[in-house]
Amino acid sequence: CHKPCEKVFVTVFVSRHMSGMLFNVDSNCSPELLYCLAQMGHGDELVIADRNFPATSTALQTCFQRVIPMSGFSALAAIKTITSLLPLDGFVEHAVVRMEIDGSPDEMNETHIAVFSFLEKVIPKGAGLGHIPRTTFYERARQAYAVVQTSEDIPYGCYILRKGVIF
């Protein structure tokens, strides 16, 4: 991980000098999000959090140490934007996990169905999609590289994406 002062300098530099000036990059990607995705390595994990998730306190424990906001985005919209740039890991059982609904681990709500339907089309061959209990999700999120907070309204609309490699 970089020191916080190094990240602030680079984020400010990127914000002032690169915003909107790159080919084939979704204009919804903030300079801070682009910097984070570029710094992540194979196996690093990115939390996509709904609006109820304790994003700030969790982010303070991650490598990136601050929340990356994607205000106005549903979880699906954020994941579509992020996976247009971030390869998912094909060397693990689950390239993405979702937060389970308390008391109903196999039940999928509207956001789970929409996100997993999209991800089934873009995950690497052999990789899967999984789910973990809410409390386990919180523990794993604290070990992630960074936290992206969306405006997702549907409870339990949280995911962890594992970065893959580009061949």
Radius of gyration of the chain (CA): 15
Q: What does each C-alpha distance from 66 to 17, 25, 33, 52, 163 come to in angstroms? A: 21, 23, 11, 16, 19
80 token code pair = 């579509």
89 is catalytic: yes
- Residues 2, 26, 42, 153: which is the catalytic one? 42
CB atoms within 10 A of CB 15: 13
Choice among 35, 44, 50, 89 that is catalytic: 89
Query: Cβ-count burial of 146 within 10 angstroms (0-12 exposed, 13-18 middle, 19+ buried)?
Result: buried
HEC states along 78-112? Answer: HHHHHHCCCCECCCCCEEEEEECECCECCCCCHHH
Instruction: Say which residues have a Cβ less than 8 Å from residue 108's Cβ, sequence separation at least 6.
Output: 98, 116
The answer to whether the CB of 83 falls within 8 A of the CB of 127 is no
Query: Catalytic residues, which ones?
Result: 42, 89, 138
